[in-house]
Structure 1
């Protein structure tokens, strides 16, 4: 097993396309295929399912993603130490996010944290949920933003809530629903933008199912997550149901409360903060930013 094999594996896992992976690692497509085949032979498992039209990770491949990523990180850190390019006094902080919505909360807290901890060395990772959880479990990242499911099997990892978010109707200002100050489920009719099952918080998926069952008329547009949903709403494609965090609202959309909708918890999962004062301070700043509070009012 070598770093070239791991780089090729992670590139294919990211793009699920051998041609794009080859462009990313700057070698030929046949060379990428050879590296993947050699890695699979060494590990004794199939990492990808390949057809003429698609490439998908196998269960073993998905499980190997965080390990491959961590090995490459360790190799890079070792090279940096040997060449004297890494400050041993730096304060690392590796943060995982599932989407751009979560990443948008980070810049201001990180800016303020750097003023207090000049040696701060942050790294932000953007990965699908399952892979991100594996990275947290392996301690390849220190913390992970996301929604917390009360129905999910209790995890040994701590969780800190940043905000309690009601599920609301969101639509463009030209949508007839935008004229309402509040809505009932029976009033949610017309075109709807829905998140593909298993791609959003459980409470949102449940709420979508309830609305889809009762609604009358209109088309349903499915997306893979937050970015796709917001894009279609801004383009005027109906309404959707999303958890509402006022500090993260999009200015050209309307957010309307819906009677009977449950709320969801948004926060940070982590493994331990023991001895990491900059991690604890970051959570304080992040919580203040998410809740729209004054972040510079004191430590």
Structure 2
């Protein structure tokens, strides 16, 4: 196999998921300070990308264990947030669509790099696939 290259296809941000009825639902952006005193629902490390886990640890390392609720999937994070168990924290690329939930970007958090590794030389079909990943519409 030849040289592998990394090709970025998206730069998702970390977002907060709150029910439309939540007091923070109308905000356009949230800061880490806005989340003080709120229980956070996070995807467990084996079930989310390492970059998301690293961001979660850096942002929320000083929280008490009871203020964090683990979930095994993006759908579980959204369901628990919708049920009022806390504020979900996910990468925007993993958010399940639901009209009852507000998806609010976290301010001051670097976007993630989401991409694929592939051989440097690829055929036309593979190139088209990579292009569709980067520009789906």
Fold shared per TM-score above 0.5: yes
Higher strand share: 2
Which range, TM-score by smaller chain?
A: 0.7 to 0.9
Contact 1:169/1:255 (CA < 8 Å) preserved in 2?
A: yes
- TM-score, length of structure 1 as denominator length: 0.38
Give the one of 160, 167, 171 matched to 2:7.
160
Q: Residue by residue, what CA displacement relative to the aligned partner does 1:114-171 show, whole Å, maximum 9, x if unpaired?
A: xxxxxxxxxxxxxxxxxxxxxxx9xxxxxxxxxxxxxxxxxx5322111111212222
Query: Aligned equivalents of 1:174 and 1:197: distance in 2?
Result: 29
- TM-score, length of structure 2 as denominator length: 0.75
Contact 1:194/1:220 (CA < 8 Å) preserved in 2?
A: yes
**Mapped pair 1:176 → 2:23:** yes
Contact 1:186/1:214 (CA < 8 Å) preserved in 2?
A: no
Task: Please tell me the root mean square deviation across aligned C-alpha atoms, in Å.
Answer: 3.0
Match of 1:277 in 2: 124
Higher helix share: 1
Query: Aligned equivalents of 1:227 and 1:269: distance in 2?
Result: 27
Which consecutive unaligned segments of at least 5 residues does structure 2 have? Answer: none
**Mapped pair 1:208 → 2:33:** no
Q: Which protein is bigger by CA-based radius of gyration?
A: 1
Return the structure number with greater relative CO, CA threshold 8 A, min gap 6: 2
| 1:229-240 pair list within 5 angstroms | 229-240=77-88
Q: Cα distance 1:283–1:210, how it changes in 2: closer, same or farther (>3 A)?
A: closer
